[in-house]
Amino acid sequence: MSKQGYFQAGDRIQLTDPKGKLYSFTITPGKEWHTHKGWITHDDLIGLPEGSVVSTTAGLKFTAFIPLLADYVLSMPRGATIVYPKDAAMIVGVADVYPGARVLEAGVGSGALTLSLLRAVGPEGSVHSVERRQDFADNATANITDYFGEKPANWSLDVGSVQEKEFAHEFDRVILDMLAPWECVEMAAKVLRPGGVFLAYVATTTQLSATAEALKEDGHFTEPESSETIVRGWHHEGLAVRPQQRMIGHTGFLIQSRRMAPGVDVLPRRRRPAKGAYGVAEE
């Protein structure tokens, strides 16, 4: 993928028409991209700077850019529901995924979150992914290879259950996108270094509660914290500024905690639980 601001053969290009509709394809010498109003020759795109306006043979105009990661993720082939860009950005930030980090990811799906993790850890870091379904693993591999132009050398993918895997080293971060992350808390305690971050992405409050209680009962993690991210876009035409009627509301919850040092007891929380938080006490 070009990083110099000029289109090259093999780049993914994104064309946007005046109505905001997006089109994306890979620049391939000798090919043509056809529309209902003429076509664009791929060779004519090579060497143009990003942000150029290109026209079909019939005069239909498009703005041309290399897609942002969010654009690529929303348009790539899906075998499973993706982690939306708003949540992927929060996961990278909340889990503090830094250049050089060693990340264990379970639940690859279509590879959307994996792309963000690989970009965050950089070439000095690594991402070890585990996916239960072979078809999801194959689709994710195709998407990630297509995005980077090759399979990243610092990415490994195993098919199977993460609880049954053995790992040769500790990890700095464990990030789970799966149905029952509470089943992996014990495993995470074993593979996380002291101070490492556990983070799970779950869809329902039931999953959130079960994961929180598992972290508390395990005894190796700090008091978990949870959040969700809601993004609302805005229209702006002169003084007519208003929120968009459609928005990406609830997609999932994030719950994160940190690995305590070996042999150190977790400090008990000082706040009192809400009445009825753990069911009705018997008389």
**All residues at 6 or more sequence positions from 20 whose CB lies less than 8 Å from its CB, including other chains:** none
Say if residue 111 carries a ligand binding annotation: yes
Backbone phi, then psi, for 119, in 5-degree steps?
Answer: -65, -35
Supply the pTM of this predicted model. 0.87
Count CA atoms closer than 13 A to 221's CA, side-chain side.
Answer: 30
Say if residue 110 carries a ligand binding annotation: yes
pLDDT tens-digit profile, the chain (283 residues): 555 789 999 999 999 999 989 999 999 999 999 999 999 999 999 999 999 999 999 999 999 999 999 999 988 888 888 899 999 999 999 999 999 999 999 999 999 999 999 999 999 999 999 999 999 999 999 999 999 989 999 999 999 999 999 998 999 999 999 999 999 999 999 999 999 999 999 999 999 999 999 999 999 999 999 999 998 889 899 999 999 888 777 899 999 999 999 999 998 877 666 666 766 544 4
The domain defined by 12-67 folds into Vcp-like ATPase; Chain A, domain 2 (3.10.330)
Say if residue 5 carries a ligand binding annotation: no
Say if residue 161 carries a ligand binding annotation: no
CATH class of the domain whose range is 71-258 = alpha beta
Say if residue 68 carries a ligand binding annotation: no
**Nearest alpha-carbon partner for 112 in 137, 144, 134:** 144
Listed by start position, the domains of the chain span 12-67, 71-258
Say if residue 112 carries a ligand binding annotation: yes
Angle, alpha carbons 84-200-72 (nearest 5°):
20
